[in-house]
Structure 1
Amino acid sequence: MQISNYLTHEHRACDSLFAEAEKLAASGDWEAAEKRFLDFANETLLHFKKEEEELFPAFETKTGSTEGPTQVMRFEHEQVRGLIGKMADAVEKRDRDAYLSLAESMMILLQQHNMKEEQMLYAMCDRVLPPEEKSGLVEKMEEVEL
């Protein structure tokens, strides 16, 4: 099992939920937008938790580095969490303009973040972690809950 395949698939699922929520908010269907936004937020936060609790520590242990790509990814996760909070507030207030503006910022941040993870960090994990460790890691990530 490749780490990159597993986690890239999660990125795409989160991207779909995000796009659906944005479309619903733009159309003014706030009830459906709120549900889809919550789905996006929960799936994204679960994905981050999998990386922060399982993937990053495994990578850091194997490479002996905590100052490299995982540090950058943790920082970006915090930025996304902040935007999720602001977007949740916009949903609650039914503020279309604020939501769409924040969604644009979120989209740019997530695209850049996901590209770095997919092209650099996941590929590095697939290279440095032995096959049996990768499959065990995916199993552990599957068990992570919010």
Structure 2
Amino acid sequence: MADPGTFVDYLTADHRDSDTLLAWLQEQADAGCFAEARAAFARFRADTLAHFAAEENVLFPEFERLTGIQNGPTEVMRVEHGDALALIADVSLALEEHDANRAHGYAEALLILLQQHNLKEEYILYPAVLGAAGSNAAMLSARVVQAREGTVRPDLQP
């Protein structure tokens, strides 16, 4: 794996990839290419679930531990993750039913939700976590990336 920089760089790139996949999914559904739309959706869903898991299992708890803030920005992010998961289920059902209009609409709503969510993470939460981590930022970044990629190294665990 190449050096991803900080978790901020890595997760921000993940956000952009997510936007691209959702746009591709919409194009394919609009064109009636449901096999391609479902393939894009499957990748989007897997990537999004892995991204959320890295945040909820590593990044958010570390922010809460470092700052003592339990019901602040991380709670808002978790609620928004739940909202996104509900829309992901809606997109999935629309694609299964070959309903291009619903698939496009739910994907558009999901894209808007995630773009707003991602701005809050990228400009508020991620910098706050990075600042709170201080000299441990590199280790935290490695842990977040490994959690996102589904790998765990015991030497990087707290």
TM-score, L = length of structure 1: 0.94
- Structure 1: gaps of 5 or more residues: none
- State whether structure 2 residue 22 is matched by structure 1 residue 10: no
Aligned partner of residue 77 in structure 2, secondary structure: helix
Work out the CA distance in 1 between the residues paired with 2:131 and 2:88: 32
Q: Which has the higher contact order (CA 8 A, sep 6+)?
A: 1
CA drift of 1:127 comes to 1.3
Report what 2:99 is aligned to: 95
| Matched residues, number | 145
Report what 1:134 is aligned to: 137
Which residues of 2 match residues 93-132 of structure 1 at below 5 A? 93-131=97-135
- Structure 2: gaps of 5 or more residues: 152-158
Work out the CA distance in 2 between the residues paired with 1:138 and 1:120: 17
- State whether structure 2 residue 57 is matched by structure 1 residue 57: no
Report what 1:143 is aligned to: 146
Aligned partner of residue 130 in structure 1, secondary structure: helix
Work out the CA distance in 2 between the residues paired with 1:143 and 1:126: 17
Work out the CA distance in 2 between the residues paired with 1:117 and 1:92: 31
Work out the CA distance in 2 between the residues paired with 1:24 and 1:137: 37
Give the conservation status (yes or no) of the 8 Å contact 1:3–1:125.
no
Aligned partner of residue 91 in structure 1, secondary structure: helix
Report what 1:27 is aligned to: 31
> In the TM superposition, what whole-angstrom CA distance separates every residue of 1:85-127 from its partner, at most 9, and x where no partner exists?
1110011111111111111211110111001101100111121
Runs of 4+ in 1 over 6 A off after TM superposition: none
TM-score, L = length of structure 2: 0.87
CA drift of 1:50 comes to 0.3
Aligned partner of residue 67 in structure 1, secondary structure: coil
